[in-house]
Structure 1
Amino acid sequence: MAKHTARLLLVDDDPGLLTLLGMRLTSEGFQVTTAASGPEALRQLDKEKVELVISDLRMDEMDGLTLFSEIQKRFPGLPVIILTAHGSIPEAVAATQSGIFSFLTKPVDRDALYKAIDQALAQSVPVSDDRWREAIVTRSPQMLRLLEQAQMVAQSDVSVLINGQSGTGKEILAQAIHAASPRAGNAFIAINCGALPEQLLESELFGHAKGAFTGAISAREGLFQAAEGGTLFLDEIGDMPQALQVKLLRVLQERKVRPLGSNRDLDINVRILSATHRDLPKAMEKKEFREDLYYRLNVVSLRLPALHERAEDIPLLANHLLRQSAERHKPFVRSFSTDAMKRLIGANWPGNVRQLVNVIEQCVALTSSPVISEALVEQALAGENSALPTFADARNQFELNYLRKLLQMTKGNVTNAARLAGRNRTEFYKLLARHALDAADFKE
């Protein structure tokens, strides 16, 4: 987070030092709140949101380590820097292994303090009142713009098509849109349209009457009915069989569903969100996906970036996932070594966030130390990287990189870029829209 927006909480029982450090940080543009004791600091944290706590170690009422322990319980993910005039190697080791971000000795070197603050803010979980998207951990400007759009479209009932590579978190974004919508109090139901054979998928979506097919010994409610008043998320919609595409289109047009084997239509009130990793315009060209259904589903299009496009989120996500995994399996695991984090940031991540989850889980499972080493990360990545991306994902990534390169070379001049690509302007604009690229972003 940029300095001019970061809010810090300073904790010290020495009023003179508290005032002096507060003035120094305020002059740097930070928003500073102060507390003269640990309990007062906890009361301040209950009243206002901060991004970082800087606390003295030795305080009478509650020392810095006890304060940090309470912060961990009440505000997980909030980074803490400890300052002390009584620095020692054992204290520093104990502090950093317990999860404290940094341990600095007084008198504090100005550059060392500012460096520690910048690093802590870069890896802290942003504090936000936006509970609707609490499962999405990010500080990427690209992701934050996407979330602004998602929150806007959540307020209406328009259909949303979420595009993105496998593992980018399309279902999590769909859940966030539901949580931000007026339908949040009702059901959110997800189904993978490519995971079931046609007849079973049809029965799952629309339900069936008793005796509709062999084995249908009783009537069964479909997911459209189960999601009444809420949201139905159709994942991998591009893999839906064509015969079912026709039936889905009818449901969306008439807002009615007819269970398999029934002669009666049922009214439905469901918001539709869908997602795909496929290039649906190309699927339409090949007659593999219905154009009329595409426009019904694609009233608003949101594109989730690949993990390597939001590399600034990797430390944030890695630490968040580490805390979650450690809580479930090994509570003593606290952090990554500096080299391990560098290796995570430098990886390609063809499997996106899903791959990062797997790597962190493997590291936690295999470590016997509170600090994850670079060797463990390397081992986990070697196992994960044996899986190649799908052909469609690889082709989409090539297209995206190619278009970016063209726009960079031509400084956002679409006419010149289209000529270099051997495409007319109309086709080129369609390519840009497909990959959510804006030529204006590349102009000087």
Structure 2
Amino acid sequence: MSRGHVLLVDDDRDLLKAATGWLEVSGFSVTAHHRPEEAYQQLLRSEPDVVVSDIRMPGIDGMTLLNSVIKARRDIPVILMTGHGDVTLAVKAMKQGAEDFIEKPYDAEYLLSVLDKAVEKRRMKREIARLQGLVQEEGGGPQIVGDSPAMRALRSRVAMLADVDIDVLIIGETGSGKELVAQALHRQGRRRAGPFVAINCAALPESIFESEVFGHAKGAFTGALSDRDGKFEYAAGGTVFLDEIESMPLTLQAKILRVLQERVIERLGENRLRPVDVRVIAGAKSDLSGEIAAGRFREDLFYRLATVDIRIPPLRQRREDIGLLFSHFASLAAHRYGRAERTVPVALMARLQQEEWGGNVRELKARAERFALGLDEQGTGKAAQTGPHGELTLPDRLAAYEVQLIRAAIDEHDGNTARAAASLGIPHRTLNEKIARYGLRGSREKSSDL
């Protein structure tokens, strides 16, 4: 499999030929042009993963080509090659949208690492966009993201049940996305124009549950100064989502059962029945068989709810979705907080795949948002492991210390990685690999064979 398709532009034919040969030997497919205008026409006809162009060229220069590519194909990253005196111009180009720049004479291994990073970033963005388009829900809102067989089956089941006005039981571990699925059922169904009202049964104290859910009449208790609609009445024409229904006290379960069977409620302190027009969706952490056996959940309520169920697989059973979800949430967080998007290092992605994710998607989302804000561990660009008391483990302490030394060496030598590698006593290629692994690419870091 090709490492990516590179559109290479340089007016120096000898350099163009040499660079093309090296990239092809290294696993890239290359389309080479010595005339920028021809390269631009090629870009409009084909689908390169990245454009690499010299800045100083007769006629159309690299800056002009950059602006043309951005206008025509903003999704394709552009990397500029610069002479020693063009660094200021290259920095300006990055502000205008260039992905990166490489100072001539460049280190061949460094060029490969820059290209791998650009190609992976573009492919990840395209994959995220594709996944976001998999679930087009009317009315917008959060989407069910994932491309594993389990998630494709889940979306199909949601689409099948959304417009069927039947109560549904959603079963899934904490943080797996039960409310997200309930919202999808609501938005894709005939009740989409009505309210979606979520009730967390575990968070609502029993003493006020009946008043909050069914409402109360004026004078029903001290402080009841007027009549008040409950959640069921407020949701008229829409959907009520009863999350963590296994936490509901038995006395209240009987009243919920009556609502499901008769579609009426009775306000606290009132003797008349009020009809309610709602769809009820319940969420539970398990299939409730253990709760029923222990006498904590009514069997008749379970069978009334479980006519149709939707089961959400835990994240550890669909690991192929982890990387895509992490990038998706990191991208959303970057836009929300006005931060530049960060490329997820391959090493971090590999570590994410190995974790157990007891908190499921909710835990992954929190980790992705910390990454997007640059709050991940010591700036290493990877997820830190902690010991039983919360401290960093030895490998992560060593990695953080190594990052600190590398940054100091790069700063000391004004971004020249060749000199930084010499001062650290390691080969230039080894330093470039560490820079790529830790995600340390930045404006101060340059590569030179000097």
Shorter-normalised TM range: 0.5 to 0.7
Structure-1 residue corresponding to 2:214: 206
Indicate how the Cα distance of structure 1 residues 205 and 67 shifts in structure 2: closer, same or farther if over 3 A, else same: farther
- C-alpha offsets along residues 21-51 of structure 1, whole Å, 9 cap, x if unaligned? xxx99xxxxxxxxx9599x89xxxxxxxxxx
Structure-2 residue corresponding to 1:185: 193
Structure-1 residue corresponding to 2:440: none
Indicate how the Cα distance of structure 1 residues 96 and 154 shifts in structure 2: closer, same or farther if over 3 A, else same: farther
- C-alpha offsets along residues 272-318 of structure 1, whole Å, 9 cap, x if unaligned? 11101134112112221111111111111111111111111111111
Contact 1:363 1:380 in 2 (8 A): no
Indicate how the Cα distance of structure 1 residues 212 and 334 shifts in structure 2: closer, same or farther if over 3 A, else same: same
Measured in 2, the distance between the counterparts of 1:188 and 1:286 equals 32
1:218 to 215, 226, 229: 226
SS at 1:199 equivalent: helix
Letter aligned with residue 361 of structure 1: E
Structure-1 residue corresponding to 2:168: 160
2:123 to 111, 120, 128: 120
Deviation at 1:338, TM superposition (A): 2.1
Measured in 2, the distance between the counterparts of 1:340 and 1:320 equals 15
Measured in 2, the distance between the counterparts of 1:325 and 1:146 equals 25
Deviation at 1:364, TM superposition (A): 3.9
Structure-2 residue corresponding to 1:332: 340
Indicate how the Cα distance of structure 1 residues 322 and 54 shifts in structure 2: closer, same or farther if over 3 A, else same: same
2:136 to 96, 120, 131: 131
Contact 1:280 1:289 in 2 (8 A): yes
Coordinate RMSD, CA, aligned:
4.7
2:326 is the alignment partner of 1:296: no
Measured in 1, the distance between the counterparts of 2:135 and 2:379 equals 31
Contact 1:54 1:83 in 2 (8 A): no
Structure-1 residue corresponding to 2:413: none
Q: Which runs of 5+ in 1 are unaligned?
A: 14-23, 26-34, 42-51, 73-79, 387-444
Letter aligned with residue 373 of structure 1: T
SS at 1:215 equivalent: coil
Q: Which has the larger radius of gyration?
A: 2
2:231 is the alignment partner of 1:227: no
When normalised by structure 2's length, the TM-score is 0.62
Deviation at 1:130, TM superposition (A): 3.4
Letter aligned with residue 238 of structure 1: E
Measured in 2, the distance between the counterparts of 1:215 and 1:226 equals 21
2:384 is the alignment partner of 1:378: yes
2:290 is the alignment partner of 1:282: yes
Contact 2:232 2:276 in 1 (8 A): yes
Measured in 1, the distance between the counterparts of 2:328 and 2:311 equals 23
- C-alpha offsets along residues 97-127 of structure 1, whole Å, 9 cap, x if unaligned? 9796999x9xx99xx99x9579926953425
Higher deviation after alignment, 251-260 or 278-287 = 278-287
Structure-2 residue corresponding to 1:243: 251
SS at 1:335 equivalent: coil
Letter aligned with residue 120 of structure 1: R
Contact 1:156 1:181 in 2 (8 A): yes
Q: How do 1:28-427 residues align onto structure 2 when only pairs under 5 Å count?
A: 36=41, 54=49, 56=51, 63=65, 80-82=75-77, 116=119, 120=123, 123-126=127-130, 127-128=132-133, 130-132=135-137, 134-329=142-337, 331-367=339-375, 373-375=380-382, 377-378=383-384
Contact 1:57 1:84 in 2 (8 A): yes
**Aligned length, in residue pairs:** 340
Indicate how the Cα distance of structure 1 residues 150 and 213 shifts in structure 2: closer, same or farther if over 3 A, else same: same
SS at 2:229 equivalent: coil
Measured in 2, the distance between the counterparts of 1:284 and 1:238 equals 9
Deviation at 1:332, TM superposition (A): 2.9
Indicate how the Cα distance of structure 1 residues 200 and 143 shifts in structure 2: closer, same or farther if over 3 A, else same: same
Measured in 2, the distance between the counterparts of 1:346 and 1:276 equals 27
Letter aligned with residue 327 of structure 1: H
Q: Which runs of 5+ in 2 are unaligned?
A: 10-28, 31-39, 54-59, 393-450
Contact 2:216 2:228 in 1 (8 A): yes
SS at 1:378 equivalent: coil
Measured in 2, the distance between the counterparts of 1:356 and 1:280 equals 26
Deviation at 1:329, TM superposition (A): 3.4
